[in-house]
Amino acid sequence: MKRELKVEKKMMGKNDGGSGASDRDDRPGEPTQPPKVSRRGVLRLFGMAAAGAAPLILLPPVLQKASDAGRVVESQGEPAKGPGGRIRQWTMIIDLRSCDGCQSQGTPPQCTTACVEGHFAPEPMEWIQIFEHELPGGGTQFIPTPCQQCQNPPCVNVCPVAATFSTPEGTVLIDQDRCIGCRICMAACPYDRRFFNWGDPPVPPEALLADYSPEHQVPAKKGTVMKCDFCPDMVRAGTLPFCIQACPNDAIYYGDLEDDVATNGKEIVAASRFLSENQAYRLKEDKGTKPRVYYIPGHGEAVGRDTADEGRLPTEWPWVERVKGAKTWRR
């Protein structure tokens, strides 16, 4: 038929010594091969691709403006300012010499308990958690660990929707109304300080009245990430965070690096001197996260703890029991 004839012709062309490529181009119905790729052609292609991709780069900022919610201003208080009008830079200094994991009290760690009660943190979240770390010569030390409020926060870097963000005061907060629950921040955090609402978090009746903001994560929301928020709302109002108030040994100091002052509720120290003179360090400094939480080395010796006294009582969530049908999960 028609098609066959063409092939025949081409075969003849071959036999005649005619070039197959030249007659292929101008004959309808002939098989074609992809055209040869010239360098200029390739460059033009990449140019076109770049031009085509440009709207992709421009689009999200435009959308962000359009949605008028690119920022989280409404959910965040005005940054606190010191006497000179400079923005406060919140810090926490934890004196490990005074922390015995509440062994002497015979209770679960009071800082964790107060935090759990004050924030209605769902079980098993311990926004400030006492880790027991083995010492090189045997025995242990206790390390109360809140969110380290990094200045190079891996969690903020990876969040796809800016649900977790750094504030001018140097804290890291989470907007649970925006969080999509992808949990990449949990993978990114090198301190294991992020907690997920795997199920419907229990909410006590009194929490229903709470005015939610990223600085006051009450009530908890299913499918979102939570963590220690450093209680900037409390310190702005003139009270210390729950954990510090509750510490029986006054081991935790809260302060403002900008004003160079810190307090544990009993005494006031000059933050920089206090840090330097006591060889303060930060957790995993080699990770480059630049935490705002400092530690003064120790193992509870100031309150008479021996390194060989191992173990602490497990954290409890008494308020959860008051919520009917509360669901909890393992850590």
Segment 27 to 56, residues that bind other proteins, using CB under 8 A: 27-35, 37, 41-42, 45, 49, 56
Of 60 and 304, nearer to other proteins (C-beta) is 60
| Residues contacting residue 131 through CB under 8 Å, at least 6 positions apart | 142, 143, 145
Residue 203 Cβ vs other proteins, minimum distance, rounded to whole Å: 14
Q: Is 8 helix (H, G, I), strand (E, B) or coil?
A: helix
- Tell whether residue 4 is a contact of other proteins (CB under 8 A): yes
Of 198 and 212, nearer to other proteins (C-beta) is 198
Residue 184 Cβ vs other proteins, minimum distance, rounded to whole Å: 6
**Region from 79-87, 180-188, 239-247, 303-311 binding other proteins, contact rule CB under 8 A:** 180-188
- Tell whether residue 178 is a contact of other proteins (CB under 8 A): yes
Out of 25, 206, 277, 306, point to the residue binding other proteins (CB under 8 A): 25
Residue 313 Cβ vs other proteins, minimum distance, rounded to whole Å: 16
Residue 222 Cβ vs other proteins, minimum distance, rounded to whole Å: 5
Residue 259 Cβ vs other proteins, minimum distance, rounded to whole Å: 31
**Region from 115-123, 178-186, 202-210, 234-242 binding other proteins, contact rule CB under 8 A:** 178-186
- How far apart are alpha carbons 133 and 21 in whole angstroms? 76
Q: Per residue in 94-110, is it b (16+ CB within 10 Å) or e — as a string?
A: bbbbbbbbbbeeeebbb
- Tell whether residue 313 is a contact of other proteins (CB under 8 A): no
Residue 150 Cβ vs other proteins, minimum distance, rounded to whole Å: 10
First-to-last CA distance in the chain? 75
How many binding residues for other proteins (CB under 8 A)? 79
Q: What angle do CA 175, 179, 182 make, to 5 degrees?
A: 145
| Residues contacting residue 181 through CB under 8 Å, at least 6 positions apart | 196, 223, 224, 225
Q: Is 173 helix (H, G, I), strand (E, B) or coil?
A: strand
DSSP 299: S
DSSP 91: E
- How far apart are alpha carbons 124 and 287 in whole angstroms? 27
**Which 122-151 residues touch other proteins, going by CB under 8 A?**
124, 131-134, 143, 145
| Residues contacting residue 95 through CB under 8 Å, at least 6 positions apart | 251, 252, 253, 264, 278, 296, 298, 302
CA dihedral 308, 311, 313, 317 (to 10 degrees): 140
Residue 146: name the closest of 177, 198, 176, 109 by CA.
109
Of 154 and 214, nearer to other proteins (C-beta) is 154
Of 37 and 208, nearer to other proteins (C-beta) is 37
**Which 197-216 residues touch other proteins, going by CB under 8 A?**
197-200
**Which 62-81 residues touch other proteins, going by CB under 8 A?**
63-64, 67, 69-70
Out of 188, 257, 270, 302, point to the residue binding other proteins (CB under 8 A): 188
- Tell whether residue 224 is a contact of other proteins (CB under 8 A): yes
**Which 238-277 residues touch other proteins, going by CB under 8 A?**
none
